[in-house]
Homo-oligomer: A and B are copies of this chain.
């Protein structure tokens, strides 16, 4: 990690919750949780993670940058798919371990499965423990073909 991407040290609970300094609570892996919602519809598009560099780049550029836990790599949303996210507003929560970005989603969707949102299945309520839980597809129409979008570039 470059020393370039430094945030304020965390002070007292009062300072963290009521202060005007951004001092994120990065977890043991150096990440905060990021929720991206559609600036127009309010729907949650995706939940991902940011390390210090991704957070700093998102703030500076107004484009969403994330850190992939599986690939252990910084990535700009849309760098492969072309489906970037322009951030219209960023918020941080009380204890500063989560950020919420409202985004204008470029292209037909945010999800690598080819949907607008990653949350295309509902968990019907009232299901009891002890058995298996069933999902229902909802707003699940594919808006693009991921095989075409993520195909290796020649």
Contact = CB atoms under 8 A, between A and B. Distances in A.
A35 interface: yes
A42 interface: yes
A143 interface: no
Contacts of A6: 129-130
Contacts of A8: 132-133
Given A7-B133, A37-B44, A94-B113, A126 B62 contact: yes
Contacts of A98: 47, 118
Interface residues of A, number: 58
A122 B22 contact: no
Contact of A128 (B60, B62, B132): B60
Contact of A93 (B94, B119, B129, B134): B119
A123 B91 CA distance: 6
Given A35-B44, A129-B56, A130-B4, A21 B135 contact: yes
B47 A122 contact: no
B119 A92 contact: yes
A74 interface: no
A76 interface: no
